[in-house]
Structures are given as structure tokens and as C-alpha cells.
Amino acid sequence: MGSAWLADAVLIAHVLFVLFVVGGFSLILAGAGRWAWVHNRAFRTAHLAAIVFVAVETLLGFACPLTLWEDVLRSTGREDRSFIGRWLAWLLYYDLPEWVFATAYCAFALAVVWAWRAIPPRARSTRPGNAL
């Protein structure tokens, strides 16, 4: 029972990672001219690194570490998911050929690189009195 809850926690972390990547990109585009925080270099670097990691691991044929960790914790199969776990898995996992995911992840990574150039991050100002 304990490992099933831990596996669900890993699944939740996985969904939050996906929300960071997809939602972060959406917020960068939506807030380009309105919100200063979308230009935050630390946020943008973490965002770019996250999608590049996903694209590279897929191109190299590696499985996602979070998926592997969840599967190990479940060890008896995916049927041990909680109600919330089943819904999150339904949102996260799709039965498609690997090339579909590789293409989608690489295209998304290219879009994030484009956004880096089109909506560049800013370094923190060193001017005295800057509230950043």
C-alpha cells in the first residue's frame, strides 16, 4: 500500500513537470508584453533545460526517469493506481508510436528556443535601488 501512494506521488510530480513545461510556455507567450517575470532568466533557463532534457532523452531512446520510477514503485502493475492516479495517468500517458513523441518533443523544444530569442530573458539588473 505504501509504495502505491509513493508511486502516485511520483505521478503527480510527473504531471507537475509537464504543466511547468507546457504551462510555462503558454505563460511566456501570453505575458510577453505584460508580465516582467516571464523574462526572468532563472525561470527561462529551467524551462528551456526541462524541454531539452525531454527531447534529448527521447531521441536517445531513454525512458522518462519518472515513468520508470513510478513503474518500479508499482511493481505489481499500473492497476494499483488510486482514483486520482488513474485520471492523471489518463492525461499523461498515450499509446502512440515513439516517433510521434520524439517529433512532438523536438518541435516543442524548437518553439521554446524560438521564444527565448523572440521574448528574451533578462539578466538581473545590478543598478542600485532595483527591486528585482
Q: Domain spans of the chain?
A: 2-118
Report d(CA 69, CA 75) in Å as an integer: 10
The percentage of the chain sitting over the pLDDT mark of 70, rounded to a whole number, equals 87
**Which cell is 87 given?**
485520471
User: pLDDT tens digits for 38-54?
Assistant: 999 999 999 999 999 99
Pick 37 or 77 by higher pLDDT: 37
Residue 26, amino acid: S
Q: What is the pLDDT of residue 130?
A: 52
